[in-house]
Amino acid sequence: MKKKENNPYLTSFVPYNSFFIDHYQSHQKHDMKVQHYHDTYEIYLQTQGERYLFLNDICHTLKTGDLYILRPFEIHYTESRDASHYGRYLLNFNDNKLDIILSNTERHFLLQKLVTGIYHLEEKSFQIIFNLFKNIEYTGKKTGLLAEKLQYCAVFQLLIELSAMIQEDMMPETALSVSNVRPEIINAIHYLNKHYQEEITLEQVAETVHMSKYHFCRMFHKVTGATFLQYLNNIRLTKVHQLLLQTDLSLADIAIKTGFASTAHLSRIFKSVYYVSPRNFRKDIPLHR
């Protein structure tokens, strides 16, 4: 595989078998190599300093006490920019594993409250969540017959606390609610997210949001950091990954469902970004359902 330089415009898939917890502190600038997504939920707590999060290609500043929640297959990227240090807790977990302690009904009821977005915690809430992360970190080091159940009991405690906080007084700052982004660009992003399965052209989208092609391209790149085609392909490739992982659909059917003109077109774009064909990717990754 080719070595990838830091490039937030490429997209990578990072799978987790089930459970990952990490507490990290850095006094040096550190940027992710590429934007990426997981087949798990991700919960991130900023414990020190500042960090910059790109969620759906729009930049947010994370400060101490900020928390973000990502549902599976949400594209994201973080970097340091001018911040010289930061600390964070990071949790990734497979929601299906909650079945070892919850019924399907209970699991769906709990997870529907976890909306993708950034949450700004008050000091008291921050301390509660911080201590719950510490407990998850502690259980994450356990081994033995009941270790996994213990870990997911700790995750369950965190989810219960977060769902209560969200229900009471925490409103998420979502990627498309940023006040300094022009509404035409937000409308364009919404349009692409909704119509990615269709044949879409740059001219069509610019006309839909009542902007000239030139002005639209300039503003779209300024907000998202990507060209129109890069952004559209990122959306489509995320869906391709999801279908490769979770279904046994043929590549021809996946191409139709994700807006690619043909199997060959899908394979060419997929391989140009990930350096592996979709067929080989599917062989290497077990089916998740």
Element (H, E) at 42: strand 41-55
On average, the pLDDT of the chain sits at 84
- The Cα 257–Cα 247 span in angstroms is 12
Which is higher by pLDDT, 284 or 287?
Answer: 284
Lowest-pLDDT range, 186-190, 206-210, 229-233, 272-276?
Answer: 272-276
Give CA torsion, residues 258, 261, 265, 271, to 10 deg.
Answer: -10
pLDDT tens string 30-69: 777 667 888 899 999 999 999 988 886 576 888 999 999 9
User: pTM of the full predicted structure?
Assistant: 0.65
Where do you find CATH 1.10.10.60 in the chain?
183-284
Domain 7-168: assigned CATH number: 2.60.120.280
183-284 folds as Arc Repressor Mutant, subunit A (1.10.10)
Residue 185 has pLDDT above 70, yes or no: yes
C-alpha span between 66 and 266 (Å, rounded): 38
Strands 7-13 and 34-37: parallel
Domain ranges in the chain with CATH number 2.60.120.280: 7-168
